[in-house]
């Protein structure tokens, strides 16, 4: 099947990794349903996607709310009877030592980073299985984190929410294997996005230290992550499912001794 007719849902499509992935898919002629709770930013994104081969359909959605996800997928179902790919990038970061973290922050981490992916995957599933075959499997890609592979003080609940997501990835991969839906995750270390820029700006008050450069000597750009997501959505990864791929410049491979 040609890429001319592919349909993808990207959550967190208004900013950072999700926005970069949205641009990449639009450049490759996908029809992209971009879900985000930041509707103003989504509208700005829509204006910047006029001259691309693909079609962008922005949809306001709170990925942590089953009612909101249901409503968003009703709009998607009105526009297409099938999907080729789901990319879940919507996520939040909350800092704080575990003994200091508020219950509201703990809940938002798990509601958005973990439950949000499950809710979106559940809503996308009926559309993903429509055209999925062994030769041309449908794809789900979750944006986890290197924190799921190596936690950090001040980010314990965030790491736990992403560990839970990696287990959802693995189990879902096997549960959906016989329906030809491949489920994988990327696990980036620090990526230069608005999320991290805000953390850096707030560092004086929060005390949280962003990890910074990797052993490769720089911080990742969103395009570094998008490239691996593109691989996970493409034919070259057709025999991969249940994988958690670090995109971290070697950050979790070994500790650097100074």
Ligand X SMILES: NC(=O)c1ccc[n+]([C@@H]2O[C@H](COP(=O)([O-])OP(=O)(O)OC[C@H]3O[C@@H](n4cnc5c(N)ncnc54)[C@H](O)[C@@H]3O)[C@@H](O)[C@H]2O)c1
Residues of this chain that bind ligand X (CB under 6 A): 11-12, 14-18, 36-38, 61-64, 89-93, 112-113, 116, 143, 145, 188, 190-191, 193-196
Q: How far is the CB of 82 from ligand X (least distance, A)?
A: 23
Question: 27-50 burial by CB neighbour count: b if 16+ within 10 A, else e?
Answer: ebebbbbbbbbeeebbeebeeebe
Residue 155 near residue 93, CB atoms below 8 Å: yes
Q: Please, which residues have CB within 8 angstroms of residue 197's CB and are 6 or more apart in sequence? A: none
The residue (of 6 and 162) whose beta carbon lies closer to ligand X is 162
- Whole-number minimum distance, CB 120 to ligand X, in Å? 9
Cβ of residue 114: shortest distance to ligand X, in angstroms? 10
Q: Which of 236, 224, 200 shows the shortest CA–CA distance to 146?
A: 224
> Given the structure tokens 């081969």, which residue do they identify?
53
| Smallest separation, CB 151 to ligand X (Å) | 12
- Taking the least distance from each CB to ligand X, the nearer of 7 and 93 is 93
Q: Which is nearer to ligand X, 88 or 132 (CB)?
A: 88
> Is-contact 36 9, C-beta < 8 A?
no
Our CB check for ligand X shows the closer of 131 and 232 to be: 232
DSSP assignment of 98-123, as one string? TTT--HHHHHHIIIIIIIHHHHHHHH
Q: 183 or 196, CB closer to ligand X?
A: 196
Contact 143, 117 (CB under 8 A): no
In angstroms, give the least distance from the CB of 239 to ligand X: 25
């Amino acid at each position: 099947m040609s890429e001319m007719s592919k349909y993808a849902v990207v959550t967190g499509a208004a900013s950072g990794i999700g926005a970069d992935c949205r641009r990449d898919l639009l450049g490759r002629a996908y029809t992209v349903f971009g879900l985000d709770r930041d509707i103003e930013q989504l509208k700005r994104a829509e204006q910047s996607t006029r001259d691309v081969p693909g079609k962008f359909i922005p949809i306001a959605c709170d990925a942590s709310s089953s009612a909101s996800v249901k409503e968003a997928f009703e709009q998607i179902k009105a526009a297409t009877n099938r999907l080729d790919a789901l990319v879940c990038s919507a996520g939040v970061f909350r800092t704080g030592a575990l003994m200091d973290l508020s219950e509201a922050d703990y809940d938002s981490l798990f509601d958005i980073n973990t439950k949000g992916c499950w809710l979106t995957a559940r809503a996308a599933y009926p559309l993903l299985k429509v055209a999925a075959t062994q030769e041309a499997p449908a794809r789900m890609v979750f944006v986890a984190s290197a924190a799921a592979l190596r936690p950090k003080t001040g980010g314990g609940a965030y790491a736990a929410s992403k560990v839970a997501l990696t287990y959802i990835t693995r189990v879902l991969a096997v549960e959906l294997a016989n329906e030809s839906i491949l489920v994988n995750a990327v696990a980036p270390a620090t990526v230069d996005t608005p999320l991290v820029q805000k953390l850096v700006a707030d560092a004086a008050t929060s005390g949280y230290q962003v990890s910074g450069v990797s052993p490769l000597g720089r911080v990742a750009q969103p395009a570094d992550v998008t490239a691996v997501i593109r691989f996970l959505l493409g034919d070259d990864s057709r025999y991969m499912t249940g994988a958690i791929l670090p995109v971290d410049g070697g950050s979790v491979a070994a500790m650097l001794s100074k």
